[in-house]
Chains A and B, each alone.
Chain A
Amino acid sequence: MSPIVSCRGVEKRYRVGAIEVPALNGVDLDIEKGDFATLSGPSGSGKTTLLNMIGGLDRPSSGEVSVDGTSLKGLDKNRLTEMRLHKIGFVFQAYNLIPVLSARENVEFILQLLGVPAEERGKRADAALRDVGLEGMETRRPAYLSGGQQQRVAVARALVARPAIVLADEPTANLDSKTAEDLVGLMADLNRSLGITFLIGTHDARVMAHSRRHIEMTDGRITSDEAHENADAAQ
């Protein structure tokens, strides 16, 4: 079976004034369907850059990225946007909810972009919020939700369209340890119960403890890629 994500020789160089700074140095990586993988490494190791390349938010200087069998290389801005909409769910460090929309509307927003009819949209958004434990908070706007609750809404939003993969960049960085533990547990549960593939960029040992695959990056290269059994995975 072909991988959900495939990176081949991905390089990314940024120009800062006259100097070219390498951020990724020939990354080769496959993410398989159903993976719950973490991407770790020190600051500046290229985790976020690699997630951006996989998510189609940025383009590699060279090399190729494919998501769910589609090469991102030849896609223009509009097609990349469509690809993100249909195939990728994002969870960001800073929650990034739309402030003028309620929790339900934030989750529904993706379905609206996909053209899902209103009635079905409401049902699916409520179900997604129920899955992340936010039943009863559907009408609250982000300003009236705690950090942990906002991040749960972000997870519900990322999952509601059943994407090929959810990319999460430091999802627990702004959360206290209890909330962070709950959130990671929730994502691991959703991975098991719904079969959704997760790739999580993180420093957080608690997140790594839940993962079944641990990818280590240093200086824009993958330095280790290990599968390991953990308590969650054993269940």
Chain B
Amino acid sequence: MNALALLMPLAWRNLWRYPRRTAITLVVVAVGLYSILCFAAILEAWAQSSRDTTLNLLTGSAQIHAQGYLDDPTVSHTMPPPDQALSQALAQPAIDASAARVRVPAVVQSEYKTLPLTLIGADPNSERALSSIPRQIAGGAYLSTPSDSGIVLGRHLAERLKTRVGKRVIIMAQSVDGSLAQQSFNVVGVYAGNQEIEDQYAFTGIATAQEMLGLGDRISEISLHVASDSDLASTLRTISAAAPGLDVRSWMQLSPLAAAMDGFMHAFVYIWLWIMFVLMAIGIVNTQLMAVFERTHEFGLLQALGMRPRLILAQVSLESALLIGIGVIIGMIASAATIALFHNGVDLGFLARGAEFFGAGRVLYPAIAPLRFVEMSALVWVLGVAVALWPARKAARANPVEAMHYVS
């Protein structure tokens, strides 16, 4: 006997026997899945934005330092510029930008105030490809050459120092020989970022910083950006092999908080999936149980006529699979349309400060990987059919005599 040929017409027609109940189940499944997929896309966008905001400032995808620098980030732990092997490793196609920096703790002094900060000697051309700070200039201009002797301050720091573009400040830091190096800088630009960043970092040309600190051509770090996360691990292995004496770390090791937030966002999608699924399951089980109770007499009749209990189980399960499948398809189409509608970005300007507080950018780009989209939809379908097995088992266990006396 071809069970599917027997059951499919019955199952399909039974779906439309009670249009209201079918519609309720479809709405429950479609809305539930829609919310899961859209929420996943927004959370993914939020996680991406949060990660980009953090990493694009200075961190990049990974950094290379001298051993010990991260524990004591001073002039005592510098490294020579990349040799041929490291330069070749940094030129591999997976890396789309890299920048060498001098990075030391320092003190800035204006006419009114003295404050601590981190002085970064940067190559403006490399930084433009790697960091978002050159694009975040709120006043004046960013550095123009590696030997630029001007300084770019954070907006909030400039306000606290009561200084501005065109005025001068003094930077003091420990030089290589242990003496106090100090130099007067002309404020050439002010950048805007979040307040913590604005207070912490000031930028001057890398050659100027090296000269001031007596570093020669030595540097503190190399920051690099890997276009695809999936290439990160292999890229770092290549770099580590090319520079065995150096400390090569990924952004997850450099910014554990950002990595934890990223992991939490992904986990939260699944937490949300389960919350929504429990609600959906209650709806599915309720409506399917009602359907089974209303059709108790019919299941008794089918058994009396010679339909085996396992075929009745298969028939009710097939009905659930079709019904939930249609709901899943509607949910997939609706959520795909919604995500596509906002693929150019959702502007969070109206809650920009709040978004910034949580580390996200102003514009979110909702997106979800096709595999994840299908995987989540399939999971909802499988789980939905699984919970609907309970009502189906009730139908299959009906005693024919009792069932045929049952009046719904």
- Identify the A interface with B (CB < 8 A): 52, 55, 57-58, 77-78, 81-82, 84-86, 90, 92, 96, 98-101, 105, 109-110, 112-115, 118, 157
Contacts and interface: CB of A to CB of B under 8 A. Distances in A.
A114 B309 contact: no
Interface in B292-341: 298, 301-311
B306 A110 contact: yes
B309 A81 contact: yes
A171 to B, nearest CB: 15
Interface residues of B, number: 23
13 contacts: A57-B304, A57-B404, A77-B309, A84-B305, A98-B298, A98-B302, A99-B298, A100-B17, A105-B9, A109-B6, A109-B305, A112-B1, A112-B5
Given A100-B13, A100-B14, A100-B17, A85 B305 contact: yes
A82 B308 contact: yes
Contacts of A114: 1, 306
B376 to A, nearest CB: 33
Contacts of B298: 98-99
B297 to A, nearest CB: 8
Contacts, number: 63
Given A78-B308, A96-B404, A98-B302, 14 more contacts: A57-B304, A57-B400, A78-B309, A81-B303, A81-B306, A81-B308, A81-B309, A82-B306, A92-B301, A98-B298, A100-B17, A110-B306, A112-B5, A114-B306
Contact of A113 (B6, B9, B310): B6
B282 interface: no
A98 B311 CA distance: 15
Nearest to A158: B305
Interface string B6-46: 10011001100100000000000000000000000000000
Nearest to A116: B1
A44 to B, nearest CB: 15
Counting from the closest, the 3 A-B pairs by CB-CB distance are A85-B306, A100-B13, A115-B1
B378 interface: no
B10 A55 contact: no
Interface in B344-375: none
Contacts of B290: none
B179 to A, nearest CB: 94
B170 interface: no
A49 to B, nearest CB: 9
B308 A96 contact: no
A113 B306 contact: yes
Nearest to B17: A100
B401 interface: yes
Contacts of B401: 52, 57-58
B328 to A, nearest CB: 24
Contact of A81 (B6, B17, B307, B404): B307
B364 to A, nearest CB: 48
Contacts of A115: 1
A55 B300 CA distance: 13
B304 A55 contact: yes
B210 to A, nearest CB: 84
